[in-house]
A and B are shown apart, each in its own frame.
Chain A
Amino acid sequence: MGIVTSSPGVLITHEDIDRAHDRQRVLAARSGRGFSSSVRLLWLLIGPGVLVMLGENDGPSMLSYAATGATFGVSFFIPFIILTFVMAVVVQEMTVRLGAATHRGHAELIFDRFGPFWGWFSMIDLGIGNFLTLIAEFIAIRAGLGFFGVPPWAAVLSALAVLYLALVTHRYWTWERVTLAAAVFNLVFVPVALFAHPHWNSVGHALATWKPLPGGLTKDTLLILLSNIGATVTPWMLFFQQSATVDKGLTRSDIRYGRVDTVLGAALASVAAVATVLATSPLFNHQMNAQNFQAAEFAQALQPLIGRVGASLFALGMVEAGIVAAITISTSSAYAFGEVARKPHSLNLPLKQGKPFYTVLFLCAAGAAAIVLIPGLPLVHVVLIVNVIAVLAMPPALIFLFMLANDKEIMGDLVSPRWANMLTAAIVVLLTSAGLLFGISILAPKVFAFFT
Chain B
Amino acid sequence: MATTQTPGTAAAEASQELLAVLEPDQLTGARRVKLPRRYLKGPQLVVIWTLRLYLLFMIAVVVYQIFTGTR
Q: A interface vs B, CB < 8 Å?
A: 1-13, 15-17, 19-21, 23-24, 27, 102-104, 109, 112-115, 118, 121, 125, 249, 251, 342, 344, 352-353, 378, 381, 385, 388-389, 392-393, 395-396, 399-400, 403, 407, 409-410, 432, 435-436, 438-439, 442-443
Contacts and interface: CB of A to CB of B under 8 A. Distances in A.
A240 B12 CA distance: 32
Given A353-B1, A403-B44, A12 B34 contact: no
B15 to A, nearest CB: 5
Given A4-B15, A5-B12, A8-B7, A112 B35 contact: yes
Contact of B15 (A17, A113, A395, A438): A17
Interface string B25-64: 1111111101111101000100110011011011101101
A388 B55 CA distance: 12
A1 B11 CA distance: 11
28 contacts: A2-B2, A3-B2, A4-B15, A5-B6, A8-B7, A10-B30, A12-B15, A12-B27, A19-B22, A19-B26, A20-B18, A20-B22, A103-B26, A109-B35, A112-B34, A112-B35, A115-B37, A249-B22, A352-B1, A389-B59, A392-B58, A399-B48, A399-B51, A410-B35, A432-B51, A435-B58, A439-B61, A443-B64
B67 to A, nearest CB: 10
5 shortest interchain CB distances as A-B pairs: A2-B3, A112-B35, A3-B2, A396-B51, A23-B21
A395 B51 contact: yes
A16 B21 contact: no
Given A3-B3, A395-B55, A396-B52, A114 B19 contact: no
A113 B35 contact: yes
B37 A342 contact: no
B36 A409 contact: yes
Contact of A16 (B27, B40, B70): B27
A17 B17 CA distance: 10
B46 to A, nearest CB: 11
A114 B47 CA distance: 14
B38 to A, nearest CB: 5
Contacts of A1: 3
Given A249-B22, A395-B54, A104 B62 contact: no
Contacts of B44: 403
Contacts of A102: 25, 35
B1 A112 contact: no
Contact of B40 (A12, A114, A385): A114
Given A103-B26, A385-B62, A403-B44, 10 more contacts: A10-B30, A12-B27, A16-B22, A16-B28, A20-B22, A23-B21, A112-B34, A388-B62, A392-B54, A409-B38
Given A4-B15, A439-B61, A10 B32 contact: no
A442 B1 contact: no
A282 to B, nearest CB: 29
B4 A4 contact: yes
Contact of B26 (A109, A114, A249, A389): A249
A114 B35 CA distance: 10
Nearest to A402: B47
B35 A385 contact: no
Contacts of A4: 3-5, 11-12, 15
B31 A104 contact: yes
A396 B55 contact: yes
B23 A251 contact: yes
A124 to B, nearest CB: 10
A392 B59 contact: yes
